[in-house]
Amino acid sequence: MSTTDTLTQTKWTIDTAHSEVQFKVKHLVISTVTGTFKSFKGNVSTESEDFDNAKVEFSIDADSIDTNNTDRDNHLKSADFFEVATYPTLTFANGLLTKSGENYTLSGELTIRDVTKKVELGVEYGGTAKDPWGNTKAGFEVTGKINRKEFGLTWNAATEAGGVLVGEDIKLHINIQLAKN
């Protein structure tokens, strides 16, 4: 039996009541629109207390997008963008959280629509604590940037001044609280 066979894996689940998935994109190149996904789930499996080499799986209900504007949300759900009727879920698979000094990196395969790309995101580990009911929780802040066109989200409109309506780069800001199973 190898050493890895004897290690105990700890399972964690995303506590959605204390987590959020946000994104930001430039609008008309002069301002920023912020949106969230209201429905998501995920699991983490680790063999170390500091989460080094933790395995991460995550999925988002594309229909749960919310930018505080119903018309914009409906457009984002259409075939011009997420096409939620055909591609209802965004997934992050084969994720691996690795530690280097005090810094963490989360790498894995992000699938939006029918396009899968390897992505790498920065992670800040906030620590682990017990809540008043004795449940063990762990907190993380995940940040990064993706280019929406690389995932087939290519719709845009030109402005009178020659600019574009929607920026290509999407900034991700994800706050995750895990609950130990």
What class, spelled out in words, does domain 10-180 have in CATH?
Answer: mainly beta
DSSP secondary structure string, 10-70? EEEEE-GGG-EEEEEEEETTTEEEEEEES-EEEEEEESSTT-TTEEEEEEEEGGGEE-S-H
E strand or H helix at 167: strand 166-180
Q: Please give the pLDDT value at position 3.
A: 46
Give the integer Cα–Cα distance in Å for 126 and 24: 22
Q: Please give the pLDDT value at position 6.
A: 55
Per-residue pLDDT of the chain (181 residues; tens, 9 = 90+): 444 455 689 999 999 999 999 999 988 877 899 999 999 999 999 999 999 999 999 999 999 999 999 999 999 999 999 999 999 999 999 999 999 998 999 999 999 999 999 999 999 999 999 999 999 999 999 999 999 999 998 888 777 666 677 889 999 999 999 999 9
Determine contact, residues 9/45, Cβ cutoff 8 Å.
yes
50-56-58 Cα angle (round to 5): 135
The residue behind tokens 């290509």 is 168
What's the Cα-to-Cα distance from 26 to each of 40, 111, 119, 171, rounded to whole Å?
Answer: 24, 22, 21, 9
Q: Please give the pLDDT value at position 134.
A: 95
Q: Phi then psi for 61, rounded to 5 degrees?
A: -80, 110
Helix (H, G, I), strand (E, B) or coil at 84: coil
The ranges assigned to domains in the chain are 10-180
Tokens of 174: 């994800």
Tokens of 115: 């396009």
